[in-house]
């Protein structure tokens, strides 16, 4: 029986689950906003809050602990350089989960968005495609 267990299993083994949640948090740090299912969003939010609280300490031990959790030294550096300074005056509540009000077409899962509070998301602009059609040479 699973009385009073706190973690969501998400239908995965513990190693797969921790790797997936770490990947979600890394995506949140890189893109500042991620879209996923509601349950995964809540699990990722929990880890993101803990990771940012640890990163605010700014010590070498904190950095090493974050690298062991997220497995991406470059993302940890980005977290400490970009996100931590914005969140210095805030004691918790760094992220929000917004229900998108739509269901995923394949299986009907409720979708949600996780984003940092007070940080603008990265906007990707598409470059117009260059004309790649070659002009054929006239026949001889």
Please give the pLDDT value at position 124.
Answer: 75
pLDDT over 90 at 97, yes or no = yes
Q: Which has more confidence, 81 or 8?
A: 81
Query: If you search the block for the tokens 């009073």, which residue do you land on?
Result: 4
Question: Cβ(66)–Cβ(54) under 8 Å?
Answer: yes
For the entire predicted model, the pTM comes to: 0.83
- Residue 54 sits at φ, ψ, to 5 deg, of -70, -40
Identify the structural domains of the chain with CATH numbers, from first to last: 14-116 (3.90.1030.10)
pLDDT tens digits, one per residue of 31-72: 999 999 999 999 999 999 999 999 999 999 999 999 999 999
Closest to 114 in 3D by CA, of 47, 15, 65: 47
Per-residue confidence at 14, pLDDT binned at 50, 70, 90?
Answer: very high
Instruction: Quickly tell me which residue has 């890394």 as its tokens.
Output: 26
């Amino acid at each position: 029986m699973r009385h009073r267990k706190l973690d969501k299993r998400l239908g995965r083994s513990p190693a797969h689950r921790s790797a997936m949640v770490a990947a979600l948090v890394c995506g949140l740090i890189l893109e500042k906003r991620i879209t996923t299912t509601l349950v995964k969003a809540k699990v990722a939010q929990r880890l993101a809050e803990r990771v940012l609280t640890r990163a605010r300490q700014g010590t070498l031990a904190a950095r090493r602990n974050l690298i062991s959790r997220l497995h991406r030294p470059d993302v940890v550096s980005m977290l400490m350089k970009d996100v931590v300074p914005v969140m210095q005056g805030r004691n918790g509540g760094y992220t929000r989960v917004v229900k998108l009000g739509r269901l995923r077409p394949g299986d009907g899962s409720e979708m949600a968005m996780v984003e940092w509070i007070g940080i603008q998301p990265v906007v990707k602009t598409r470059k117009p495609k260059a004309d790649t059609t070659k002009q054929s040479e006239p026949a001889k």
